[in-house]
Amino acid sequence: MRFLVDRCAGRKLAEWLRLAGHDVLDAREIAPDPGDAALLAMAAGQRRIVITIDTDFGTLVHLGGAAHAGLIRLPDVPARRRIALMEQLLSRYPEAELTGSIVTIRGNRIRLSRPAQ
């Protein structure tokens, strides 16, 4: 899968995803920081699912109608826990279900909202 990992989601998560064989763009590699709207547009243009802890991306999508290729919002927990949650998510949902969807993880609950067909 193709991901853009937001700065707040962490370098360790980006590295883990790469080691798992995914195509990952770490927002830390983009300097200077272009801001959330530009990152979301970049990810949409490159068909990358954004992984973040930040709620601003959800606001851009839900209230602003911003285009996206998918959004995964993880809880603000230690890096090991974020990696475990991503591992659980990726084992449970195929790429076709995650692409274009908005995923919110709270505790051990995963909420997946898919776009209307």
The domain ranges of the chain are 2-113
Fold (CATH) for 2-113 = Rossmann fold (3.40.50)
Of the candidates 97, 108, 83, which has an alpha carbon nearest to the alpha carbon of residue 49? 97
Q: What is the pTM of this model?
A: 0.94
Between 11 and 64, the higher pLDDT residue = 11
**Model confidence at 13, in pLDDT bands (50, 70, 90)?**
very high
Output Rg (C-alpha) for the chain, integer angstroms: 13
Segment 51-76, tens digit of pLDDT:
999 988 988 998 888 999 999 999 99
Please check the confidence at residue 31 and state whether its pLDDT lies above 80.
no
**Model confidence at 116, in pLDDT bands (50, 70, 90)?**
low
> 27 CB contacts (<8 Å, ≥6 apart)?
4, 5, 6, 7, 33, 39
Q: What's the CA gap between 41 and 49, in Å, rounded? A: 11
- Phi and psi at residue 99, in whole multiples of 5°? -65, 125
Token duo for residue 69: 């290729």
